[in-house]
A and B are shown apart, each in its own frame.
Chain A
Amino acid sequence: MNSPSTQFVSSGRMGMYDPIHQIGMWGENFKSNGISNASTSMFIAGNPNSSQPILIAADTKLDNQSEDTSHGTLGPSSKYDQEASKPIDKVKRRLAQNREAARKSRLRKKAYVQQLESSRLKLFQLEQELERARHQGLYIGGVETSHMGFAGPINSGIATFEMEYGHWLEEQNKNICDLRTALNAHISDFELRILVDTGINHYSELFRMKATAAKADVFYLMSGMWKSSAERFFLWIGGFRPSELLKVLKPQLEPLTDQQLLDVCNLKQSCQQAEDALSQGMEKLQQTLAETVAAGRLGEASHMPQMDTAMEKLEGLVRFVQQADHLRQITLQQMSIILTTRQAARGLLALGEYFQRLRALSTLWVTRPREPA
């Protein structure tokens, strides 16, 4: 007969049983595979009369325990004595069953914990993805919370920049829309000029923001983490490469007059030359920094002797970003000089859309279906 009551057990030899009752979680998993119920709770009562170690397991969920433990009573010792000889084997079997049950329980617990750990990791990764998605122009707000996945202290200058960049992107999207509408609507050149100037000034605004951010943390700017991943792929000294840009734009602007073609060609060339000079300067900076860091004896865990020099070199990076942004700016301005108003408007529109596409590509990439890790 199955009774859910507990029985008292006396024993010196119990074997190892977990006091599992406090963990209800996988206690529920202990369905009615009868024997395993044995490990739920155990009571030990001293039985002074018993010279034999009698072991009767107690459980709270008895299902099919017909044979063994039915009646929960503290009967007189004689009762136990009577039963002592009979169920020795059964007692042994009970022991084994308990051990088995406990082992299974431990395994289940291990599996559960592992599951928890991997979920935790997944959660962390999701948070980082969300973070990146935020930075790709979907900025919502609350910068303080967004630095969980970031290493290093929160830099208020950078936090400001990220926020401002989010706004800049919104404004940029609006400008592009306006340009598109205006070009389709065939408005006057005069009005179009206003839009072109707005567009170029908007880029100037970005360069100003970047200049401030460069002083706060030039490495952050150089890393391009504030841009979407596809844009970052094309990164050159903290931004887009002006010559690349001209290559993208030129086919969009045709037809061009002969003089314009000449001017654009010259601009492309000058741009390339300026870029090369800056790139070579960067290489030199890397070289001298490497030399500075490697100076003195390596391998002895001693401090770097020329910290000050190295710091100075790093600060040189700020000037590089400034010069690169300056180059971007004057390239844009020169283009707007070479082109007619209408062409300039088309150019700005094309440029804006190009970057929009890169950003869209990045988002698509982040959300692409992936095989489970």
Chain B
Amino acid sequence: MQEAIPFRTYIPATATSGGNRKFPPIGSATTIGGNVLVPANRENYVQKLVLENSVIVFGKRGCCMCHVVKRLLLGLGVNPTVFEVDEKEEAAVINELSNINGGKDVGEVGVQFPVVFVGGKLFGGLERVMATHISGELVPILKDAGALWL
């Protein structure tokens, strides 16, 4: 039986996953209150993020739904990386994300924020997270991706 971890405490960041960290200055993406710089190698940057993080959530800045996903994952003991997208970059980021090989069919046209990537692959939006959590499938998936220990 899975143990409940109160949402206020969570596993500290490891090398591959982290909270809202500051990204390396070579290609800075926006985090909380950060400046927006569009680096030349942008295209790969988002992809790199996806691959490097066991769990990463892309959401619009200040979006409350993104907050919901984040809190839910935190409550499970996951420390998700959160990438807050500025309005200006929105289209570009969506574009890149759609191009990333999600492993499943990338027929999910029109990625809507917030969107979650688990284990380098496209997982889905808030609804999918909720549905898999209720059905009990989410935690095993997270464990497989190395986002969750216990």
By a beta-carbon cutoff of 8 Å, the part of chain A in contact with chain B is: 262-263, 265-267, 269-271, 273-274, 276-278, 280-282, 284-285, 288, 313, 316, 319-320, 323, 326-327, 330-331, 334
Flag if B127 contacts A280 (CB, 8 Å).
no
Partner of B67, one of A266, A280, A327, A330: A280
Partner of A288, one of B62, B69, B71: B62
Can you name 17 A-B residue pairings with CB atoms under 8 Å? Answer: A269-B2, A270-B136, A274-B134, A277-B69, A277-B71, A280-B68, A284-B64, A319-B65, A320-B64, A323-B68, A326-B131, A327-B130, A330-B130, A330-B131, A330-B134, A330-B135, A331-B134
Instruction: Please tell me if B75 contacts chain A, counting CB pairs below 8 Å.
Output: yes
CA–CA, A288 and B2, complex, Å:
34
With A273-B133, A277-B72, A330-B135 already in contact, the answer to whether A266 and B1 are too (CB < 8 A) is: yes
Flag if B130 contacts A326 (CB, 8 Å).
yes
Instruction: Name B50-97 residues within 8 Å CB distance of A.
Output: 62-65, 67-69, 71-72, 75-76
By a beta-carbon cutoff of 8 Å, the part of chain B in contact with chain A is: 1-2, 4, 7, 62-65, 67-69, 71-72, 75-76, 126-127, 130-131, 133-136
* Cβ–Cβ < 8 Å partners of B67 in chain A: 280-281, 284
* Cβ–Cβ < 8 Å partners of B75 in chain A: 273, 276-277
Flag if A281 contacts B71 (CB, 8 Å).
yes
Closest 4 CB pairs of A and B: A281-B68, A277-B72, A285-B64, A277-B71
Flag if B68 contacts A278 (CB, 8 Å).
yes
Minimal beta-carbon separation of B81 from chain A (angstroms): 17
CA–CA, A32 and B68, complex, Å:
80
* Cβ–Cβ < 8 Å partners of B76 in chain A: 273
Minimal beta-carbon separation of B31 from chain A (angstroms): 17
* Cβ–Cβ < 8 Å partners of B130 in chain A: 274, 323, 326-327, 330
